[in-house]
Amino acid sequence: MRRGATNKPCVLVVEDDAALGEALTDILEINGYAVSLADSAEAALERLRRGVPGLLLSDVQMPGQDGHALLRTVKQAYPLLPVVLMTAYGQIEKAVQAMREGAADYLPKPFEPERLLATVARHYVQPQSAQDATIVAEDPASRVVLELAQRVAASEATVLLTGESGVGKEVYAHFIHRCSARSAGPFVAVNCAAIPDNLLEATLFGHEKGAFTGATSAQPGKFEQAAGGVILLDELAELPLSLQAKLLRALQEREVDRVGGRTPVSLDVRVLAATNRNLAELVAQGRFREDLYYRLNVFPLEIPPLRMRKADIPPLTQRFVEQYGHSLGRPGMRLSPNALAALTGYEWPGNIRELSNVLQRAMILAPGPVIEVEHLMLPGPVAGVRAVTAAGSTIKDLERDTILGTLNRCGGSRRKTAEALGMSERTLRYKLQRYRENGDMDGDGLL
pLDDT, tens digit (0-9, with 9 covering 90-100), for 395-414:
566 667 778 877 877 778 88
Give the lowest-confidence range in 106-120, 226-240, 305-319: 106-120
Per-residue pLDDT reduced to its tens digit, 152-191: 998 999 999 999 999 999 999 999 998 888 988 889 999 8
pLDDT average, residue stretch 251-261: 87
Share of the chain above pLDDT 90, in %: 40
What CA–CA distance (Å, rounded) separates 415 from 353?
Answer: 22
Helix axes 197-205, 241-253, angle to 10 degrees: 10
Q: How confident is the model at residue 72 (pLDDT cuts 50, 70, 90)?
A: confident
**What is the mean pLDDT of the segment spanning 131-147?**
78
Q: How many CB atoms lie within 10 A of CB 344?
A: 18
The pLDDT of residue 286: 95
Higher pLDDT, 447 or 428: 428
The confidence score (pLDDT) of residue 176 equals 93
Average pLDDT over residues 273-279: 96
State the average pLDDT over residues 326-350.
90
The pLDDT of residue 447 is 41
Among 108, 115, 70, CA closest to 91: 108
Q: Please tell me if the domain spanning 10-112 has the same topology as the one spanning 128-304.
A: yes
Fold adopted by 128-304: Rossmann fold (3.40.50)
For residue 83, pLDDT beyond 80: yes
- Domain ranges (residues) in the chain: 10-112, 128-304, 311-437
Question: 289 pLDDT band (50/70/90 cuts)?
Answer: very high
Task: Tell me: pLDDT of 101 over 60.
Answer: yes
Mean pLDDT, the chain, rounded, equals 83
Q: In sequence order, what DSSP letters do the residues of 23-64 get, joined into one string?
A: HHHHHHHHTT-EEEEESSHHHHHHHHHH---SEEEEES--SS
Average pLDDT value for residue range 138-148? 89
% the chain with pLDDT above 70: 83
**Selection from 129-133, 189-193, 256-260, 407-411 with the highest mean pLDDT:** 189-193
Mean per-residue pLDDT for 200-227? 80
Which of 105-109, 201-205, 420-424 is the least confident region? 420-424
pLDDT of residue 312 exceeding 60, the answer is: yes
pLDDT for the residue numbered 425: 76
Superfamily assignment of 10-112 in CATH?
Response regulator (3.40.50.2300)
Q: Is the pLDDT of residue 106 over 60?
A: yes
User: pLDDT tens digit string along 2-30?
Assistant: 333 344 568 999 999 999 999 999 999 88
**CA–CA dist 402, 408 (Å, integer):** 10
Q: Is the pLDDT of residue 82 over 80?
A: yes
Smallest CA-to-CA distance from 328 within 399, 425, 422, 407 is with 422
Band the pLDDT of 110: cuts 50, 70, 90.
confident
**What are 213-224's pLDDT values in tens digits?**
666 677 888 998
Provide the pLDDT for residue 259. 83
Q: What integer pLDDT is reported at residue 380 of this predicted model?
A: 66
The predicted pLDDT at position 239 comes to: 92
pTM value > 0.85: no
pLDDT the model gives residue 134:
64
Which of 21, 17, 20, 70 is closest to 42 using CA atoms?
A: 70
Domain 311-437 carries which CATH code?
1.10.8.60
How open is the CA angle 324-353-368, to the nearest 5 degrees? Answer: 35
Has residue 384 got a pLDDT over 60?
no
